[in-house]
Amino acid sequence: MSADARPLTVPDLLAMKAAGRRIVMLTCYDAAFARLLEQADVDVLLVGDSLNQVLAGHETTLSATLDQMIYHGASVRRGARRSLVFVDLPFLTYQISVAEAIRNAGRVLQESGAHGVKLEGGRPMAETVRALVDRGIPVIGHLGLTPQSVHALGGYRVQGRDERTADRLLADAHALEEAGACAIVLELLPSALARRISAALTIPTIGIGAGAGCDGQVLVLHDMLGLNEGFNPKFLKRYAGLGEAVRTAVRSYAAEVRDGRYPGPEHSFE
């Protein structure tokens, strides 16, 4: 993305699908990475509640808080001037009532400067999506493996393998589109089903573990950079091995500190 490129807008996502241009999305949790990802032409930065696992070390996303998401959303927004920034609504901040969803999503936009929010669920969430969109809050949906429902789903596993579930997910996708969602994340679906859903919608789909038939792709940044070395699902491709790079750099630093080579005269003030 060139320095003089105009900022992306939410309607650009629909235009990108219509033009057949694949959408590039990555998770992002801070300003430093936001600047780097924007310079590398990432279209959408997702402040995912995955930060509860990646940064905070929890086993699931369920204990992420609204204040936590707003803090990281604001950090990302300060580092991103042209990429779109969407923030996950954490568990129980939008499921209790439509009014509470409006209040919490409004806080996200007001306090973080993000362009929109992402929430999980299909037809049961359509009314909430419509209420948010009607109030000027862009919404990305999320179907398939929905991490906030990990216990109900029986773990992190592929969804939609049987015809009944596949038909339900397609109906869910239509319901989200009709409610005004601007895009839908499809997570851990058979590639044929994800392709079928993508072809049936006018809004873009963003896949993670859902094959190449989606209109874009998203990965967790720390996973694809090799910083989360214990996570090795089939769908993940590592584009760097930064975990080892970090260890090597820190070992060098520690050795130089211990033997007195750092700081040298060139790093000191007279």
- Residue 131 structure tokens: 């209420």
Place of tokens 């970090």: 246
Can you list the pairs that 80-83 forms with residues at least 24 positions away whose Cβ atoms lie under 8 Å? 80/28, 80/34, 80/35, 80/37, 80/38, 80/45, 81/7, 81/38, 82/1, 82/5, 82/6, 82/7, 82/8, 82/38, 83/1, 83/7, 83/8, 83/34, 83/37, 83/38, 83/42, 83/43, 83/44, 83/45
- Measured between alpha carbons, how far apart are the two ends of the chain, in Å? 42
Q: Which residues pair with 47 in a beta bridge?
A: 87
Cis peptide before 263 (omega within 30 of 0): yes
Please tell me the chain's helix, strand, coil percentages from 3-state DSSP, rounded to the nearest 5: 45, 15, 40
Q: Residue 48: how many CB atoms within 10 A of its CB?
A: 28
The answer to whether the beta carbons of residues 220 and 50 sit under 8 Å apart is: yes
Catalytic residue numbers, as ranges: 187
Closest C-alpha among 211, 155, 194, 216 to residue 12: 216
Which residues does 121 contact at the CB level (< 8 Å), separation at least 6?
Answer: 95, 141, 142, 143, 146, 172
